[in-house]
Homo-oligomer: A and B are copies of this chain.
Amino acid sequence: MSILYYTLNNSVFSNFAFYSTASVVKMMGLSALTTLKRMSKDVFANPEDLSLAKNKSAVVVLNDPDVERVRRNHLNDIENIVPFVLVGLIYVGTNPDRDTALWHFRIFFISRVLHTLTYQFALPQPSRFIACLAGYLTTLSMATRVLLTVRP
């Protein structure tokens, strides 16, 4: 009998569905935060965007530290959350133990929430480094299981 891994009847998949979607939504929150920062500070990267500025003499600004902080945070999310979802989706297909998988998903999601908080509040290092590392190692752990399971 073939087992169906990619249905919500499989609790590994439904747990993955929850935490991966929550992680992506958190990442998408930084798009909104970038827009809010740009609007509140009149910091725009394109000449045609200046019509949105409150100050009608605003000019293009590409190096505002507050906007750039959000953008670096966003790019770091892309560099980490996208690999988590891609690898995690395949990891679900290796039929991992339910609880082991759930803790991978939980630790990853929590690490990314903490990473965002440490980044946006500029908390002292190595707090942000450790938050990022925890999620990174979680993804590598899932990738290791995939590579050992399916090696040609």
A-side interface residues toward B, CB under 8 Å? Answer: 2-9, 13-15, 17-18, 20-22, 24-25, 27-28, 31, 45-49, 51-52, 62-63, 69, 72, 74, 78-80, 82-83, 85-87, 89-90, 93-94, 119, 122-126, 128-129, 136, 139-140, 143, 146-147, 149-152
Known interface pairs A21-B146, A124-B48, A125-B52; A83-B28 also in contact (CB < 8 Å):
yes
Residue numbers in B under 8 Å from A8 (CB-CB) = 93-94, 149-150
Copies in the complex: 3
Bound together, the chains give a CA A139 to CA B122 distance in angstroms of: 30
The majority secondary structure among interface residues of chain A is helix
Minimum Cβ distance to chain B for residue A120 (Å) = 11
Contact assessment for B125 and A51 in the assembled complex, using a CB-CB cutoff below 8 Å? yes
Bound together, the chains give a CA A81 to CA B7 distance in angstroms of: 24
